Structure 1
Amino acid sequence: MFEETRFEKIHNIIFKDSIEPSILVAREIADLIREKAANNKSCVLGLATGSSPIKVYEELVRLHKEEGLSFANVVTFNLDEYYPMDKGNIQSYFYFMHEHLFNHVDILPENINIPDGKISTEDIQQYCIDYEKKIKAAGGLDFQLLGIGRTGHIGFNEPGSHYNSGTRSITLDHITRVDAAPAFLGINNVPRKAITMGIGTVMSAKRIVLLAWGGNKAEIVQKTIEGTVTSEVPATYLQNHNNTTFILDEAASTELTRVKTPWLVTSLIWDEVLKLKAVVWLSELLNKSILKLTDSDYNNNGMSGLLTEEGTAYHLNIKMFNKLQHTITGWPGGKPNADDSKRPERSSPKRKRIVIFSPHPDDDVISMGGTFDRLIEQGHEVHVAYQTSGNIAVSDEEALKFAEITQSLCPECGETKNIINFLKSKTENDIDTEAVRRLKGLIRRNESLAATRYLELNDENVHFLDLPFYETGTIKKNNISDEDVSIMKTLIDDIKPHQIYAAGDLADPHGTHKVCLDALFNALEELKQNKYMDDCWVWLYRGAWHEWESYQIEMAVPLSPDQVLKKRRAIFYHQSQKDGVMFQGDDSREFWVRAEDRNRLTAKKYNDLGLADYAAIEAFKRYHF
């Protein structure tokens, strides 16, 4: 439910995830199409690409196939296209729209309008003028679907775009190209230009819906909804549109004032989670340790109601300090024969069966390498399960190196020759052959075994699941299937773990973590009736992209300087992901540097809150199923 606040200047609705709102948006579009058809009118849709609208298009296709929704009266205009870009390129928006929508519905081909990425440079200006005229001739946009980039771009209207701008050629911002890099297998392959509808074109739409999913959109969503209108954040122009709604998932809403600091907006019912969040926020805001906060600190920062409930700052401070103190443990598997009433984990059984799920073949050591080492060292039966092969993240150059070494050892191996010939002649639209994918997967697999052996884990406790959803040979993955969930269930049922560790970081740039986590959650849902699941606790770690906020952490595992170094060495065994990793995201640091900096920062945050000074901390949050 939308709750108007003095901070927010654009109507927005927050949902738990992207599934329900995508269906609702698709139904709004479907209702509009039917209404126009009933009046014998065309329905003119402005459409977006990218990951945000995919589920909307899936629902529209379902409505067409199962409920008879016709697109015969629909005219579409896409927002943008890379330039130069061939229509047949799998990264083109022409390809995207046909793959996700147009090939599956009864829209007339002549009613589909997508900017032409191959128009000659001398003809672009007139082409853009004609695109504008065509929109006006169709009666204007009845509905415009938007996503939002981290620069605040809508379409490809980058910072500096003018309010009255029309369809035109534009140079892409570096951040935009960085975000597109995973799909193009590296930033060097991302075009530097694009053709885009202008701000003025978008603003002329009668209805606008913007979709934003994920924590990496939270900061720009807050700037757009709560900030001042500025060309530096082009999406803020939407504040001046009289029929715009932002549809957000919880992760994309986290920086909004009413979500991040609701005590500044309205009176609250203070639960324990909110109390800790508020106290940690106040401590960080004032740069004071928790035990130094005063009554006036709370009263002056919108938390007088909390003090009224708790009595005094003194009592509240101690209570919240102790809550954080009790998250710290050097025994992530529980300390045997110890009082566990104030510890994050149980003391028994003394030796636990543990499964660490790793979406890619290096997330385990990058995200929780110190804890991984500690669990083995403390005598638990540890298993690690690599959910995907990770083959897509091995560069062609790396694969060619191994293929040529293999050929030197076995000159007559025909398959190796085929791999070498394919890699040397591969073009941008070629999908890796099964043999090449197998080679790349073997590179990742053997790097993983080298790292786990270094941590002294037996090979029989290392499991390579190779979940089928991942094995497409392209960036685009299949939807999660019963087979994926079944593979997860079989492993869990075989081990019957007391602890499961899994990646709760959903900010990875190609979405694999999200699918892997969904596969686990689905498996747990189907297994939860089994008696052994009563003793199974699930701990979520975060990966190389983000860390849990201090108030979210339920288990903090300190690392000594020696363990930090040991973790670094374990990461180094993943050589194909070092020095020029393909999926860098917007962070140029190598993964081992990111991991160390993140763990060091978590420790510093704990210390700044008044807790002990550790070299590094790995953080976990418990998932209750």
Structure 2
Amino acid sequence: MLSNYPLSEVEKAFLEESGVKSISSQIPYLLVDNFPKLGLITACRFLEWASNNPQGVISLPTGKTPEYFIKWSQYLLQNWDTKKGKEIRERYNLGNTKKPVLSELTFVQIDEFYPISSKQNNSFYHYVNKFYLEGFGLSKEKAILINSDEIPLAEGKHFREIFPDMKVDLSLRFREPKTPMEKLQQQSIYLIDQWCGEYEQRIRDLGGIGFFLGGIGPDGHIAFNTRGSHIFSTTRLTETNFETQAVAAGDLGGIEVSANRLVITIGLDTIVYNPDAVGIIIAAGEAKAQIVKDSLETPLDNIYPATVLQKLKNGRFYLTKGAAVKLSDSVDTYYRSGEWTWEKTERSVIDLCKRLKKYGHRLKLEDLKNDKYTSMIPDLSENTVSKVMESVVEKLNRGLLKEKNEVLLHTGPHHDDISLGILPHITNQLQENSNEAHFSVLTSGFTAVTNTFVIDTLLHTKKLLDDGEIQMVHYEDFFEVGYKLKTDKDVYHFLTKVAAEDEMGKKRGLCHRVIRALVTIYEVKNKQQLRETINDVISILRNSYDGEKNPSKIQTLKGMIREFEEELVWAHFGVQVKNVHHLRLGFYTGDIFTEQPDKKRDVEPILEMFRKINPTKLSLTLDPEGSGPDTHYKVLQATAEAVRQWSEEKDLSELRILGYRNVWFKFEPHEANVIVPVSLGDMSVMEDSFSNCYLSQVNASFPSYSHNGKFSTVAKRIWVSQLNDIQLLLGKNYFYLHETAKVRSSHGLIFFKDMNVEEFLAHARELEKSIEGML
């Protein structure tokens, strides 16, 4: 099929490097190894096109997805004629390409929230101006942009006057207004619709978009064309769906904001109006694998908006291998290339059980021989399935082993990652007194705490101070040294109130810790200064727009609230505060693009922690392609480098590394080598500790796109689905008739990968390279 499409010189180079020989999807795609490389291929293709189309029309994405596209584009433009720049250009067939001048290109903004002030840093208008118009040196005069402040409304009013609660009721398009305000709103909606039509016409008058680059949402949306959007849709004001709102929650300061905000977006027909356009969708990580498969392998269908790229001969998907893992071609290549491994046998048999909806013991040899992949198993016999069953049982047995005399260090990128990933496994370890357990969250995690939560907490703190309910501030030495003491007592008292079902007592416990944090951060010296500080923070937050980056001290305050929450979770099991380590790595800044991990600033603290704790087992989130938030990917970069450096200092042959995954994406059974049974009691502990301790997260302001609620519910559903997969292989009676109570009581399973240092660094090798060659 590749021969049917006109590949550019850059695409030919990347295709050759990928080793892909043929594709069978409806839209051609190119594969790269990792997230930074995805940015490189996209930048090379864009600069190639821009060189050939110096006065063309371009439309580029916003958000976190294009981070490396932007960085690589700027790097290549700045280093076009340097030694390294020339090496990259030669490697990817840009050697003879004239350096592009971007100033004559016309930029078209893809989409925008509505209403939102263009002056806000989290508006796409601001993003486009900062990273593209200024960052790429594009023409501001030529740009076709969506500035909500300038879209005409009824009586010449601003959107804050027409929509004072920032909500637009689109039912006014079709019903009679009930009040004078609704009449103005209706007139304004019609004016916005008129503006959208004119926006569309401006694009079409230029012949349409010549180069379109976009990401793909969890529901398959491109731009804000969500699942079900009309294939012939044009620029419009529209609502979004929950998945899109969940993804946008991080930009807008919470789902409670994004759920009530509409969007203006170019349409699917806008994207493909120019038949000669280059249309590229980029996707990274296994979390995107299913929607990528559906979008690439389904004929034109409004359920999968990206299928519209089938209309373009230059329509493409650029993917990391993780994002492509479920494609029929990728599955075929996996089985047909290289030697046949036991992992392939396991995967093919388990997948056959799922495909045929048959229990393992009911699979017949004939079923295996008739299947495309199990028929490839060497020495296929009547015993093949039973050997796979034995292999999976062995993984379960490993998950039942009682560990003793271990020094355990469990790490996570964010607060709650460890709990959501492997809490039931950890509870098994903590029941053994000879084990020493440490927990470390590597970033401050402040972006997950809303302004509203902090304001409410501080108002309650003021009331408690007024009512004389916070006695510690009256102690003579409190503001000198006392605020640093008795943090374990804070935690213990809080959990006592949990046990007593005393909600007001819990709130008071949080307020105690918040006062300690305020004294620490703002160097408060007395009660009067404490009150003034509380008032100042409340004032700053009340005058901030939703999603605005906070001042650094408020970021620290939010982070310390999250740290208290983490201490509460592990105190359930008697873990002391001194064994919960808060690293607050410096790359985590709250900016749209966080910095790359730095060897001194970010790797050294992890290395120091390893030296101090000297763990025999280390757990971490294994997310080498950035399937979840980019923090996961960058924390893994820093951790891998710290492990590598530590391995140069001492013999780590005995160190075991446990790679776990959580709500963002999961292991398949064949990928994991340890399976841990999860009981209803385990699930209750996780759900209860999440609800009682992660106070800032209970209302799920930043939910997973798969569930409008707590992350703990998402984790539980994953554990249950993993049990269903294994039950299909082993049979349900394996579980409820098992000789071990732990297995009999299992109603979910956790998968993880137990590795030695060499195996882990092999997984992270690309990450090591990307650290060495950081842009």
Question: What aligned pairs does 1:242-281 form with structure 2 within 5 A after superposition?
Answer: 242-260=313-331, 269-281=339-351
Q: Which of the two has higher C-alpha Rg?
A: 2
Does the CA contact (< 8 Å) of 2:122 and 2:548 recur in 1? no
2:252 paired residue number? 184
- AA aligned to 1:153 is H
Question: What aligned pairs does 1:28-427 form with structure 2 within 5 A after superposition?
Answer: 28-36=45-53, 41-67=54-80, 70-118=101-149, 119-120=151-152, 121=188, 122-138=190-206, 140-190=208-258, 192-203=261-272, 204=274, 205-260=276-331, 269-303=339-373, 305-307=375-377, 309-312=378-381, 314-329=382-397, 351-378=405-432, 379-407=434-462, 408=465, 409=470, 412=528, 413=530, 414-427=532-545
SS of match in other structure, 2:584: coil
Change (3 A) 1:327 1:166: same
CA drift of 1:125 comes to 4.3
Residues in 1 aligned to 2:72 and 2:225: alpha-carbon distance in whole angstroms: 28
Residues in 1 aligned to 2:239 and 2:308: alpha-carbon distance in whole angstroms: 20
SS of match in other structure, 2:653: helix
1:534 paired residue number? 653
CA drift of 1:580 comes to 0.6
List per-residue Cα deviations over 1:313-370 (Å, max 9, x = no partner): x2211221121111114667x657xxxxxxxxxxxxx522221002222222222122
2:640 paired residue number? 521
Change (3 A) 1:259 1:542: same
Residues in 2 aligned to 1:166 and 1:253: alpha-carbon distance in whole angstroms: 29
Does the CA contact (< 8 Å) of 1:509 and 1:583 recur in 2? no
- AA aligned to 2:218 is R
User: What TM-score comes out, normalization by structure 2 length?
Assistant: 0.72
Does the CA contact (< 8 Å) of 2:63 and 2:592 recur in 1? no
Residues in 2 aligned to 1:426 and 1:83: alpha-carbon distance in whole angstroms: 18
1:607 paired residue number? 727
Change (3 A) 1:533 1:147: same
Does the CA contact (< 8 Å) of 1:30 and 1:60 recur in 2? yes
List per-residue Cα deviations over 1:429-458 (Å, max 9, x = no partner): 643233432332222222222222221223
Which residue, 716, 737, 747 being the options, matches 1:596?
A: 716
Residues in 2 aligned to 1:311 and 1:152: alpha-carbon distance in whole angstroms: 39
Change (3 A) 1:463 1:167: same
1:504 paired residue number? 622
Structure richer in helix, relative to its length: 2
CA drift of 1:23 comes to 0.8
SS of match in other structure, 1:247: strand
CA drift of 1:386 comes to 1.2
Change (3 A) 1:423 1:193: closer
Q: Which deviates more, 548-557 or 44-53?
A: 44-53
Does the CA contact (< 8 Å) of 1:166 and 1:197 recur in 2? yes
SS of match in other structure, 2:699: coil
Question: What aligned pairs does 1:555-566 form with structure 2 within 5 A after superposition?
Answer: 555-566=674-685
2:158 paired residue number? none
CA drift of 1:62 comes to 1.6
Residues in 2 aligned to 1:514 and 1:162: alpha-carbon distance in whole angstroms: 35
CA drift of 1:579 comes to 3.1
2:587 paired residue number? 469
Does the CA contact (< 8 Å) of 1:151 and 1:176 recur in 2? yes
CA drift of 1:385 comes to 0.7
CA drift of 1:227 comes to 0.9
List per-residue Cα deviations over 1:279-326 (Å, max 9, x = no partner): 11012222333233211111222136425x2231x2211221121111
List per-residue Cα deviations over 1:180-212 (Å, max 9, x = no partner): 122212223226433222323311152222111
SS of match in other structure, 2:657: strand
- AA aligned to 2:726 is Y
Which residue, 615, 622, 625 being the options, matches 2:754?
A: 622
- AA aligned to 2:370 is N
Q: Which deviates more, 548-557 or 187-196?
A: 187-196
Change (3 A) 1:288 1:50: same
Does the CA contact (< 8 Å) of 2:34 and 2:321 recur in 1? yes
Question: Considering only aligned residues, what root-mean-square deviation do their CA atoms show, in Å?
Answer: 2.8
Does the CA contact (< 8 Å) of 2:690 and 2:698 recur in 1? no
Residues in 1 aligned to 2:102 and 2:697: alpha-carbon distance in whole angstroms: 48
Change (3 A) 1:565 1:429: closer
- AA aligned to 2:552 is E
Residues in 1 aligned to 2:27 and 2:719: alpha-carbon distance in whole angstroms: 37
CA drift of 1:391 comes to 2.1
SS of match in other structure, 1:500: strand
CA drift of 1:26 comes to 0.7
Residues in 2 aligned to 1:554 and 1:330: alpha-carbon distance in whole angstroms: 8
CA drift of 1:491 comes to 1.2
- Give the total of aligned pairs: 602
Residues in 1 aligned to 2:233 and 2:423: alpha-carbon distance in whole angstroms: 50
SS of match in other structure, 1:85: coil
- AA aligned to 1:61 is Q
Percentage identity across paired residues of the two chains? 22
Residues in 1 aligned to 2:314 and 2:405: alpha-carbon distance in whole angstroms: 60
Residues in 2 aligned to 1:139 and 1:602: alpha-carbon distance in whole angstroms: 50
Change (3 A) 1:608 1:177: same
Q: Does 2:612 match 1:543? A: no
SS of match in other structure, 2:107: strand
2:607 paired residue number? 489
1:450 paired residue number? 568
2:524 paired residue number? none
- AA aligned to 1:353 is V
Residues in 1 aligned to 2:65 and 2:589: alpha-carbon distance in whole angstroms: 22
Change (3 A) 1:168 1:480: same
Q: Does 2:686 match 1:570? A: no
Residues in 1 aligned to 2:596 and 2:636: alpha-carbon distance in whole angstroms: 13
Q: Does 2:552 match 1:552? A: no
Which residue, 459, 483, 486 being the options, matches 2:577?
A: 459
SS of match in other structure, 1:245: strand
Residues in 1 aligned to 2:437 and 2:578: alpha-carbon distance in whole angstroms: 10
CA drift of 1:3 comes to 4.3
Residues in 2 aligned to 1:186 and 1:214: alpha-carbon distance in whole angstroms: 24
Change (3 A) 1:447 1:550: same
Residues in 2 aligned to 1:58 and 1:461: alpha-carbon distance in whole angstroms: 38
Residues in 2 aligned to 1:228 and 1:455: alpha-carbon distance in whole angstroms: 53
- AA aligned to 1:622 is D
- AA aligned to 1:93 is F
List per-residue Cα deviations over 1:444-499 (Å, max 9, x = no partner): 22222222222122333221101112243x66533322311222122123323221
Q: Which deviates more, 134-143 or 232-241?
A: 134-143
Residues in 2 aligned to 1:571 and 1:232: alpha-carbon distance in whole angstroms: 35
Q: Which deviates more, 486-495 or 169-178?
A: 169-178
User: What TM-score comes out, normalization by structure 1 length?
Assistant: 0.88
Residues in 2 aligned to 1:486 and 1:226: alpha-carbon distance in whole angstroms: 45
Does the CA contact (< 8 Å) of 2:111 and 2:146 recur in 1? yes
SS of match in other structure, 2:147: coil
2:87 paired residue number? none
Change (3 A) 1:143 1:165: same
CA drift of 1:66 comes to 2.9
CA drift of 1:247 comes to 0.5
SS of match in other structure, 1:33: helix
- AA aligned to 1:537 is R
